[in-house]
Structure 1
């Protein structure tokens, strides 16, 4: 039997890198995609096939899918992991940046699903894994655009799961909690750029400090926790629809379901150190 083929986006670091290595260890032929192929050299040395892909460029995505199909003839697993956090007050973040956040975190994932689904339907099997976040279930101040993308991807995944089920295709949502990656520093940089000079400066300074907190970083789970979960999901005969894992994921989601909105507002505000 030929090896199954997996495509992992955002594979140059963090969760994507760990996932590519995990699926390779499970016997998949793995394509690791990133905008900068030079950042995939270490993965290539370990047997991952590097693929230049920009998830905001349709031609780039189509070319990547065409390459995989021409080389292996199949795509069994799509892991939509590419994404970033664009933090800043809703009033401050330029709409161009907000649109780009949606292009990367939502439309890129959906477009790749559109491109692989015909091939999965023809084989009547396949798995689409969308990496969302606990940020698709809870909210934090100054993270509105980011949370909007993750809430959207959660809903789109639910709809796709129902649509794809008759064709033997599974759709799985992965909801990471705190993970030790570059994500927090990037979100803090975006936040400081957009909101530290205006009316939201006090909040922005507090949230940026929380995003960069060494104490939080020490508590965060390694990316391998998410990679192991994805490996479990794609090899399961009947995977769960959702996997919440990583530091704080399950407790925070449970708390959101229990507390009234204003009580949860207070919990989150204190957690990120907002001034009272």
Structure 2
């Protein structure tokens, strides 16, 4: 996109973490914002923080897994902003535990948010993005969408699904005014693990400590995402370790999987 000034961006999962950082960064770039999250209090706090920016900021409580709610959302956003130029599918949840121990209900839950939430966002807003001279979609994948890790079967499965969907949709949009960027951040110290599900509470706490010890600032991820929007980058990888994982999976998939399996088998989640 040539400019973000006076454009309107829809950001899901905007009450905290990467979504909150994106809201601040996009407002600084001149963007108006439609912030979406299941956490109404968190949305109110972010809106208050952005009050001095002079941008139009609307908030919309929604569970992205709820198809009916998501298909009602564009009308609300258009009532507040009249146009939509950027859709950022950021909302996500986490489940920790070995596959044999994870319930199918938890698998349904994580797919509902991480995969179907993204699909709902794209399906609901794509007709409105097509009306603009330039527009962009962002999908949040993960380093777990590059290589599977023990203890994260559900999360990895959703992120591989996000990756495949995003690559196919970008191909379908080729030649149109709509770009699409898929983002692969490494660990970011957000609420996704702390508020996620786990077979045992100790697993969730151990994963949260692991992520916090290796975390990338959410603000850094937000900056890279905005740069990716401007450049219409197909992929944005954030974190040196995850560039290495990406190259390793390309050069020697068998070796990459073996090394990762050995490391992840030692993880406490």
TM range (shorter): 0.7 to 0.9
8 Å Cα contact 1:78-1:128 kept in structure 2:
yes
Equivalent residue, structure 2, for 1:38: 41
Would you say 1:5 and 2:8 are equivalent positions?
Answer: yes
Write the mapping of 1:182-201 to structure 2, written as runs, cut at 5 A.
Answer: 182-187=191-196, 189-192=197-200
Deviation at 1:72, TM superposition (A): 1.6
In angstroms, what is the RMSD of aligned CA positions?
A: 2.3
- 1:122-177 CA-to-partner distances (Å, cap 9, x unmatched) read 22421010011011011110211110000001000011111122321101101001
Would you say 1:14 and 2:14 are equivalent positions?
Answer: no
Residues of 1 paired with 2:143 and 2:246: CA distance? 7
Deviation at 1:247, TM superposition (A): 5.8
Write the mapping of 1:164-243 to structure 2, written as runs, cut at 5 A.
Answer: 164-187=173-196, 189-192=197-200, 211-213=207-209, 217-236=212-231, 239-243=232-236
Residues of 2 paired with 1:54 and 1:263: CA distance? 36
Distance 1:261 1:271, change over 3 A: same
The two structures have a TM-score, normalised by structure 1, of: 0.85
Unaligned runs of 5+ in 2: 52-56
Residues of 1 paired with 2:214 and 2:266: CA distance? 17
Partner SS, residue 7 of structure 1: strand
Write the mapping of 1:95-110 to structure 2, written as runs, cut at 5 A.
Answer: 95-110=104-119
Unaligned runs of 5+ in 1: 194-204
Would you say 1:249 and 2:242 are equivalent positions?
Answer: yes
- Among 149, 152, 174, the residue aligned to 2:161: 152
Deviation at 1:39, TM superposition (A): 1.2
Deviation at 1:221, TM superposition (A): 1.1
Deviation at 1:59, TM superposition (A): 2.6
- 1:198-237 CA-to-partner distances (Å, cap 9, x unmatched) read xxxxxxx7x65752336x523311101110011112233x
The two structures have a TM-score, normalised by structure 2, of: 0.87
Deviation at 1:183, TM superposition (A): 2.7
- 1:94-128 CA-to-partner distances (Å, cap 9, x unmatched) read 21221121110011111111111111222242101
Equivalent residue, structure 2, for 1:197: none
- 1:222-257 CA-to-partner distances (Å, cap 9, x unmatched) read 101110011112233xx2100000362212222333
Residues of 2 paired with 1:23 and 1:274: CA distance? 36
- 1:68-94 CA-to-partner distances (Å, cap 9, x unmatched) read 112222110000000011122222222
Partner SS, residue 102 of structure 2: coil
Equivalent residue, structure 2, for 1:23: 26
Residues of 1 paired with 2:80 and 2:209: CA distance? 44
Residues of 2 paired with 1:156 and 1:221: CA distance? 25
Residues of 2 paired with 1:38 and 1:180: CA distance? 20
Deviant stretches of 4+, over 3 Å:
184-187, 207-210
